Amino acid sequence: MQRVKYSAYLDKIQSPEKAAILIKNHHILGVSGFTKAGDSKAVLPQVAKRALFEDLKVTVMSGASLGYNTDADLAKNGALYKRMPFQADPTLRKSINNHEVLYVDQHLGQTADMFQKIDKFKIDIAIIEAVSITEEGYIVPTTSIGNSPIFAENADKIIIEINTTFPESLEGIHDVKVLKKQPNREVIPVLESDTRIGDPFIKIDPAKVVAVVYTELPDSPAVIAAPDEKTKAISEHILKFLENEVEEGRLTESLLPLQAGIGKTANAILSGFTNSKFKNLTMYSEVLQDSTFELFDSGKLLFASASSMTVTEGCSKKVFSNFEAYKDKLLLRPQNISNAAEVINRLGVIGINTAIEVDIYGNVNSTHIAGTKMMNGIGGSGDFARNGYLSIFACPSMSKEGRISHVVPMVSHTDHSEHDVDILVTEQGLADLRGLAPIERARVVIENCAHPEYKAQLLEYFEDAYKLGGHTPHSLEKAFAWHMQLKTEGTMKVKDYACNEIEVKA
Amino acid sequence: MQRVKYSAYLDKIQSPEKAAILIKNHHILGVSGFTKAGDSKAVLPQVAKRALFEDLKVTVMSGASLGYNTDADLAKNGALYKRMPFQADPTLRKSINNHEVLYVDQHLGQTADMFQKIDKFKIDIAIIEAVSITEEGYIVPTTSIGNSPIFAENADKIIIEINTTFPESLEGIHDVKVLKKQPNREVIPVLESDTRIGDPFIKIDPAKVVAVVYTELPDSPAVIAAPDEKTKAISEHILKFLENEVEEGRLTESLLPLQAGIGKTANAILSGFTNSKFKNLTMYSEVLQDSTFELFDSGKLLFASASSMTVTEGCSKKVFSNFEAYKDKLLLRPQNISNAAEVINRLGVIGINTAIEVDIYGNVNSTHIAGTKMMNGIGGSGDFARNGYLSIFACPSMSKEGRISHVVPMVSHTDHSEHDVDILVTEQGLADLRGLAPIERARVVIENCAHPEYKAQLLEYFEDAYKLGGHTPHSLEKAFAWHMQLKTEGTMKVKDYACNEIEVKA
Ligand SMILES: CC(C)(COP(=O)(O)OP(=O)(O)OC[C@H]1O[C@@H](n2cnc3c(N)ncnc32)[C@H](O)[C@@H]1OP(=O)(O)O)[C@@H](O)C(=O)NCCC(=O)NCCS
Ligand SMILES: CC(C)(COP(=O)(O)OP(=O)(O)OC[C@H]1O[C@@H](n2cnc3c(N)ncnc32)[C@H](O)[C@@H]1OP(=O)(O)O)[C@@H](O)C(=O)NCCC(=O)NCCS
């Protein structure tokens, strides 16, 4: 009981099942959780269970994706009316794409500001995971902060999940500040990755707390494929590029704070820094993966700031069994501060994110397969790509045994326009697009990034379109022909179309 | 001579023709000028003239568009290799679209940061218009600041154009600060539209000044069509929407600082505020048009901050003949501060910009006709749309006697994705897209914004695509069919296609 140091909460302690009864049909819930870290593991899953037996459809707002099968079960059991601002679950994805769940995909740095603008998202109940409760009744979060502070502020009621699997020594790694509404918005005075500007807990109104539950489920572990040939090649291209920037005096050996997206590619890229010439690195990111801890262990990384820690089972053991070794090098922030345009620009973050597909002019699709089907969401990629010092997007040049080219004539959906993309990189090579006009960009993207099996085909598209003129040459008839052919014939390799005359390349 | 208070410059005074000889083939020029205001009127036109007789091709960077026919003459005479970050000239536009001039279209707030990242844009000569020179040899700019401070800092040499047509009393309306490079970037401490953070002049190294010329050409006047039925209707929809926000307590009568794009629509919208219920308004914008001064005259507007003043001949007379009446209500800033993400977010700017076309999911095309031909450029629209409190985009629902629908199934080029667009408005009505999923957005955009002549056709596209599934339903075969038909048959009104089966709507 000693994790709850505020005695007035003691008689609120109850089972997750009982606490979940407070959640009613049509409720709007704001839940903790960011890329599977620090999410509601006890109460929210009960909503999914109840939805099997009663009319229970809720709106769920989170930091980012949730762990285990929470999103899957909510979706499968019909418990979700609306979901925002991010998800990454295959079952929920299917429900979104079938129009069973409404999904509002948002820049992760911007959800917090929504509450002052839209009344209809007034939160009925916030569910927030805590490692402990302070003497004032405030929440010490676990492995993520996400949107929890703004949810708590805007909620009528709060349910707290005390998770005893995390060491209480997590207390101290959080830095929480709730920004004022405009026109009273203040400067966000983060001047370095490690600047502290707030409290090590989430200040809440204790009167809002209606239930406290206990759980000991750990975060669902990240599952990250080991670096392979392709992701290693991508990592090497980026390191070589950055080394050259240092040689030419535009950056120093400690670079600028790094941000890396989530997943295999981003993790492999960061791991690559372990054996690089760089030193005294820092991170100002939204998620920390295994590679962050590898970099700490190698002595390359001085400090990392993010909104969550999402690590594999092995890494989790390493970190939490020896937490004091990492504690003073880590800081977790609310996501509207980890992803604040103001701070990302001031610090000059180097943003490294992953694309579903890119086009020859440098536009990036991060979210929609074939322009229509939601994959995960834009996440924080836009916050970093728009505002950082350098915006890098990586993807394989080709996949599915060559049936899909990730470099296409025109992206089927635009998340990041050419204005927000400095560098494109695939295992084939890297294109530095800074200061180039679209027709210059096309040549370097095709030359450096496309897979040899698709180069001729891309060049032919570009040259045909070029003849038609235009700052950004396109032939609208053919712009999506490859995507269409993938659907009808299972490959983007061109042979013959109803609507165009591109010919097969041997 | 008393406009030049720094005696070491006196023997640098020469004719524009002679000063222009300093400009060599392949030079990179950084010139003052933002939406026709405060541009180089004497020296830069000489480059165009000389290019008729000699090999002279230069890169021209400016704040934004230039006045008179400077861009046209440079383009026509083949004097331009590369142009950035914005233009709005029909002749230059043609050269860009014919691939005779390379154009790098940038977020106007971001050009300044390019110099620390790319060596190849080291400026050979900066040409900056001044109303006077201080005793230290510093430049007091005229009607715009744009990128002049960063150009002066990064230039080898500087040519100053003293323009005696402007009253010396312009001195004092400028607030100039050059931001440090990352990782030493400081907080931009603008807390209100009227916060001063710098100097009333551009600090330069006087040793760089190689020529001073005199001119008395006024800025090319803005030519703005008077509000018509359509732009008045758009303005009314916006005012009604904002009034409702005040009624419901989300905004106060003084709203939040306003930004408005340039052109007839934006000017008409702002003019509409003159007879509104709002009071004590402020502006934090990039350009001030006639409507700003109407708002001052009506007592509605307290203060306006921007990077330039671009007014009609009549308005110019009114303002400059009585400048003291406006002076303490105005502030001009460098464009990386007028358009700084940090400040726009902190102040909570309400951004009102114009679109070429919008799609049913809320994506906006601001730049490319039919996805290929550059119109002007993205300008500052992205800086405001991404970071402000509210992002409004306006356009007519239809043009060219109904042959073009400005609401289309899929924008042919994406400048602002659905994430950056809160409100779409046409003369038909206004769609509040905040917090809506794409399939919800589509219904409200079609219902509220589309022209009745195109509603059925849009709905049919949406409903057909909806059946195919997907978070953002599209049928890639048909997404650009309207644009293609406009090209082949002169109208977007659907009858019959080679590649799809959409049918004629009566
Ligand atoms: C873009 C993103 C989905 C890439 O993730 P990833 O795991 O590296 O990407 P993958 O290449 O494995 O996945 C893309 C899939 O789409 C498929 N794909 C790509 N283009 C396709 C197309 N035109 N048609 C059909 N499938 C396509 C790929 O083949 C691959 O399929 P697979 O999973 O069956 O192998 C992911 O990074 C993301 O969601 N990003 C947005 C959020 C973000 O950037 N956040 C910032 C930091 S957290
Ligand atoms: C978007 C922008 C071009 C609109 O300007 P505008 O003068 O209000 O727009 P108009 O409707 O008059 O011009 C658009 C033209 O494109 C045409 N057009 C639109 N869609 C078209 C299509 N699919 N095919 C062909 N023509 C099309 C219109 O018919 C119109 O033609 P016209 O000039 O012959 O009448 C202008 O606001 C701009 O350049 N914006 C970007 C920069 C910016 O926003 N800066 C921020 C503040 S300065």
- Which protein residue has the closest C-alpha to ligand 2 atom 21? B369
Interface of A with B in 250-279 (CB under 8 A): 250, 256-257
Residue count of chain A, please give it.
506
Calculate how close chain A gets to B102, using CA atoms only, in Å.
6
d(CA B296, CA B286): 17
* Residue A500 scores a pLDDT above 70: no
d(CA A232, CA A272): 7
The partner residue sitting opposite B104, judged by closest CB among A84, A374, A436, is A436
| Model pLDDT for residues B439-498, shown as the tens digit of each residue | 999 999 999 999 999 999 999 999 999 999 999 999 999 999 999 999 999 999 986 433
* Residue A505 scores a pLDDT above 50: no
Which residues of A are annotated as catalytic? Answer: 286
pLDDT at A212: 98
Q: Taking CB atoms and an 8 Å cutoff, what residues of chain A touch B105?
A: 419, 471
Residue B472 contacts A where some CB pair is shorter than 8 Å: yes
Stretch A162-181: mean pLDDT: 97
Q: Identify which of A405, A356, A353 has the alpha carbon closest to the alpha carbon of residue A383.
A: A353
Interface of A with B in 164-203 (CB under 8 A): 181-183, 185-187, 189, 191-192
Ligand 2 centroid to Cα of residue B57, in Å, is: 29
Q: Given an 8 Å threshold on Cβ–Cβ distance, is A114 in contact with B250?
A: no
d(CA A360, CA A437): 12
Rounded to the nearest 5 degrees, what angle is found at the Cα of B498, between the Cα atoms of B495 and B500?
A: 70
Give the residue, out of B399, B407, B488, with the most ligand 2 atoms within 8 A of its beta carbon, to mutate for a pocket test. B399
d(CA A64, CA A308): 10
Q: Taking CB atoms and an 8 Å cutoff, what residues of chain A touch B341?
A: 341-342, 345, 386-387
Q: Which residue has the higher pLDDT, A225 or A425?
A: A425
Query: In which band, very low, low, confident or very high, does the pLDDT at A1 lie, cut at 50, 70 and 90?
Result: low
C-alpha distances (whole Å) from A342 to each of A251, B143, B196 are 21, 28, 19
Ligand 1 centroid to Cα of residue A394, in Å, is: 11
CA quadruple A455, A461, A466, A467: dihedral sign: positive
d(CA A247, CA B142): 40
Low-confidence residues in chain B, pLDDT < 70: 1, 495-506
pLDDT at B231: 95
pLDDT at A208: 98
pLDDT at A263: 81
DSSP code at position A334: B
pLDDT at A267: 87
> Which residue type is seen at B18?
K
Whole-prediction pTM value? 0.97
pLDDT at B1: 52
pLDDT at A493: 96
Chain B interface disruption, residue of A302, A419, A480, most B CBs within 10 A: A419
**Looking at the CA of A108, which ligand is closest?**
1
Q: Is ligand 1 within 6 A of the CB of residue A381? A: yes
d(CA B268, CA B400): 20
d(CA B121, CA B104): 12
d(CA A392, CA A402): 24
DSSP code at position A37: B
Stretch A148-172: mean pLDDT: 97
The 3-state DSSP composition of chain B as helix, strand, coil percent (nearest 5) reads: 30, 20, 45
Chain A interface disruption, residue of B180, B182, B245, B247, most A CBs within 10 A: B182
| Model pLDDT for residues B324-383, shown as the tens digit of each residue | 999 999 999 999 999 999 999 999 999 999 999 999 999 999 999 999 999 999 999 999
- Dihedral, CA of residue B357, residue B362, residue B363 and residue B365, to nearest 10: 20
| Alpha carbon B348 to its chain's center | 19
Give the residue, out of A356, A381, A401, with the most ligand 1 atoms within 8 A of its beta carbon, to mutate for a pocket test. A356
The partner residue sitting opposite B103, judged by closest CB among A82, A97, A437, is A437
pLDDT at A502: 41
d(CA B237, CA B231): 10
The 3-state DSSP composition of chain A as helix, strand, coil percent (nearest 5) reads: 30, 20, 45
pLDDT at B269: 94
In ligand 1, which atom is closest to the CA atom of A86? 42
Ligand 2 centroid to Cα of residue B357, in Å, is: 8
The partner residue sitting opposite B472, judged by closest CB among A368, A440, A466, is A368
Ligand 2 centroid to Cα of residue B272, in Å, is: 21
Q: Given an 8 Å threshold on Cβ–Cβ distance, is A479 in contact with B483?
A: no
- What is the residue-wise DSSP string for B113-155? HHTTT-GGG-EEEEEEEESEE-TTS-EE--SB-BTHHHHHHHE
To which residue do tokens 């599915």 refer?
A400
